[in-house]
Each structure stands twice: as C-alpha cells, then as structure tokens.
Amino acid sequence: MIKVEIRPDWVLRQPSGQAISLPVLLGLLEAVRSTGSISQAAMERGISYRHAWGLLREFNEQFGAELVHKSRGQGTVLSPLADKLIWADKRISARLTPMLDSLASELQQELASLLDERPPALRLTASHGFAVAALVNLLEKKDVLVDLQYRSSTEAVAALARGECDLAGFHLPVGEFEGAAAAKYLPWLDPARHMLIHLAFRTQGIFVAKGNPMNIRSLADLARPEVRFVNRQRGSGTRLLLELLLDGQGVSPDSIHGFGSAEFTHAAVAAYVASGMADASFGVETAARRFDLEFVPVIRERYFLACAREAPAAPLVAAALTVMESADFKDVLAALPGYDGTLSGQPLALESLF
C-alpha cells in the first residue's frame, strides 16, 4: 500500500529571484545550536564540513546577514536572525502539519483506488491531539489503513452524525463544566444511535515562557493589558473550554489581548509563545513541554471517540479498540506529559455522561 507524506517547505527569495530552500540549512542551524560547533553539526546532519560552510556562506552572500557567530567560551552560536528562522519553521510546521496530514490521507485513498489496491479504511475525524496521533501510528504499524481528517471537535461530531466517519474525536472537562461543554456537541450525538469510547485523560492549562517572566498564575492574569495571548480557532474544543472557564471566573474574553486570534493546533500556540510572539496560550501539557515552556495546570479532561452503537462489532473499529486497550498504547500515553491512558478503550453510553 502506497504511503503518502506531505511536509511543509518554504523558500527565501531575493527581489532578483535568487532563492534558498531552507530544510537542509535549518537542520544544520538546529544542530549548531545544540552542539556549539559547525563540524559536529555537519557530522550530526550527515553532511560534510565543506558543504555546511558552503550553505552558511551562500546565505551570507545572498542576504548580507550572518547566521552564526564565534563566541569566546561558547563555541559557535546562532545569530538572532538564525534563531528567528528556526522558530518561523517550527510555527509553520505546527500550523500546517494537521492539514497536510489530512490531505495526505485523502491522496493516499485516491491513489490506492486508481492502483486497485484500496483496502477498507477506518474513517477517523478528530480534533488534533497527541493521543489521536499515537493511535493512528500504532494502527498503521498493524497495517490498518486510516482515513484521517483533522477537524475541530464540533466538525468531528457533525461528520459522525452525517455518516461521514466511523470515529469522531472530541473532549470534555472533568467536573462542573462537563454538562455545559457537552451541550455544544449534543445536537449531533443521539443516545439511541451513538456511544462513546474513552481514549485518554489529559490536562489543559496555560503556556508561558520558561521561568514565567510575567508571573502568569491564573486565567485572570490573561486579562492583564500587557499580556499577549494566542488562541485556538473557533469551534475547537479547547477554545470552547477556555470560554466556559473564563465565564465561570467572570473574565470577559474581550479583555484578553489576542483572544480573537486563531491557530489550529496545541503545538502552533506553543510555538508562538516559545518564539516570543505571544506571552501566553492555553492547551495540553504535552505541547508546552515539547517547546520547553512552563505549564500552569488548570483542568483535567477526557478525550472521547464517538461512534455508532453497532460500530465496535465492525472489524476496523474492533482493531482500533484492541490497540486502545493494549499495553503498547498505554505506554505511549504514559510518556506524554499530562496524558493518562488508564481507561483507554473503555466503552460508555452517552446517557451515562450527560
């Protein structure tokens, strides 16, 4: 079976038309930052020292700017420009990867159909999350084809109601806000037709820079005028949850600078904070830790996969349940900060929750 992968690439181009494609250069810069040496960085990236210097020299000549500097006692260090290029690449990847993964899944299905090798696929529509990605990865290792579409939580359950997917991923807070959050999804979930499968517990909270220089300790601090906030997109479960939490504390979203912004993944908002373009964001702990941010825990939630009541008897959904109940999947979740796979794979009736 053909496997399609699409990865973001970007180019710096001068008015003259000269351009530099950045993947190899950015990888080299990342290695320089971690090793403090161009020769060690070249070895780590599998290129020659001469090639490494050639990349850096080509950039310097075309753009008239240095990417690395020699620093006494520190070896080779990145210039502010090089650091900005790396963080720009991280933001691009965090923003585009879910959309590109969805497109790759569509193309994979189309190519398989044209080549007469299209086996049945598990149709999974879900809000982007680390547990979902882990599930898909393990399913594909077991040769279970997954037609993956990353959408907002509300779009996912709406797709299930229309019969467009087998599993729809969304999440709800544990505790007092569960009912209010569930009300956003109930128009598409019918207790007579649908059930839930528990995927994971996870913790959501506030992302802030290392050391928490602005001393942001609570959601109320987000409304301070000097705090720049970056938000998730409308319709996402995380944004809906944040709105409920703010309302519960009497904090107006209009008082938060940047509340109207819209990024599509937890990694994307984490990248904004890590690169200094925002002071705070809200999301799952794993994203904060991967970008070396401080994390202020706020609430625990459950991530569910909704499906038709009869779906667990179907071979593909049964395969997904087997993976969710496996030790391998729970071990993966245990390694994700803020995730807990204790109840993964547990079936639940809708009426038992709402």
Contacts for 102-108 with beta carbons within 8 Å, 24 or more apart? 102/148, 102/149, 102/150, 103/6, 104/4, 104/5, 104/6, 105/4, 105/146, 105/147, 105/148, 105/149, 106/147, 106/149, 107/4, 107/6, 108/2, 108/3, 108/4
Q: What per-residue confidence (pLDDT) applies to 92?
A: 81
- Residues whose CB is less than 8 angstroms from the CB of residue 54 and which lie 6 or more positions away in sequence, other chains included: none
CATH number at residue 157: 3.40.190.290
Residue 264 to residue 103: CA distance in whole angstroms: 15
pLDDT by residue (tens digit) across 205-260? 999 999 999 999 999 999 999 999 999 998 889 999 999 999 999 999 999 999 99
User: Of the candidates 156, 6, 229, which has an alpha carbon nearest to the alpha carbon of residue 96?
Assistant: 6
What would the two tokens of residue 144 be?
Answer: 């279970």
Residue 335 burial (10 A CB sphere; 0-12, 13-18, 19+): exposed
The domain boundary, picked from 52, 78, 104, lies at 78
Number of independent structural domains in the chain: 2
Count of beta carbons in the 10 Å neighbourhood of residue 76? 18
Q: What per-residue confidence (pLDDT) applies to 117?
A: 60
Rg of the chain's alpha carbons, rounded to an integer? 22
Confidence tier at 202 by pLDDT (50, 70, 90): very high
Both 48 and 179 in one domain: the answer is no
Whether 105 is in a domain gets the answer no
pLDDT by residue (tens digit) across 101-141? 778 777 776 776 666 666 788 999 998 889 999 999 999 89
pLDDT by residue (tens digit) across 331-354? 999 999 999 999 999 999 988 776
Q: What per-residue confidence (pLDDT) applies to 348?
A: 93
Q: What per-residue confidence (pLDDT) applies to 145?
A: 86
Whether 227 is in a domain gets the answer yes
Whether 89 is in a domain gets the answer no
Q: What is the pTM of this model?
A: 0.79
Residue 124 to residue 319: CA distance in whole angstroms: 13
Domain of 267 in residue numbering reads as 119-353
Has residue 324 got a pLDDT over 80?
yes
Whether 66 is in a domain gets the answer yes
What would the two tokens of residue 214 be?
Answer: 């602005």
Whether 106 is in a domain gets the answer no
Q: How much is the average pLDDT of 197-211? A: 97
How would you classify the pairing of strands 294-308 and 339-340? unpaired
In 64-116, where does DSSP find H-type helix? 80-114
Whether 337 is in a domain gets the answer yes
The domain boundary, picked from 78, 100, 127, lies at 78
Q: What per-residue confidence (pLDDT) applies to 97?
A: 78
Q: What per-residue confidence (pLDDT) applies to 114?
A: 67
CATH number at residue 60: 1.10.10.10
Both 136 and 36 in one domain: the answer is no
Q: What per-residue confidence (pLDDT) applies to 127?
A: 84
Q: What per-residue confidence (pLDDT) applies to 116?
A: 62
Residue 194 to residue 168: CA distance in whole angstroms: 11
Q: What per-residue confidence (pLDDT) applies to 85?
A: 86
Residue 102 to residue 293: CA distance in whole angstroms: 28
Q: How much is the average pLDDT of 59-84? A: 83
Both 182 and 330 in one domain: the answer is yes
Both 58 and 180 in one domain: the answer is no
Average model confidence (pLDDT) for the chain?
90
Whether 90 is in a domain gets the answer no
Both 55 and 190 in one domain: the answer is no
Whether 274 is in a domain gets the answer yes
Both 64 and 131 in one domain: the answer is no
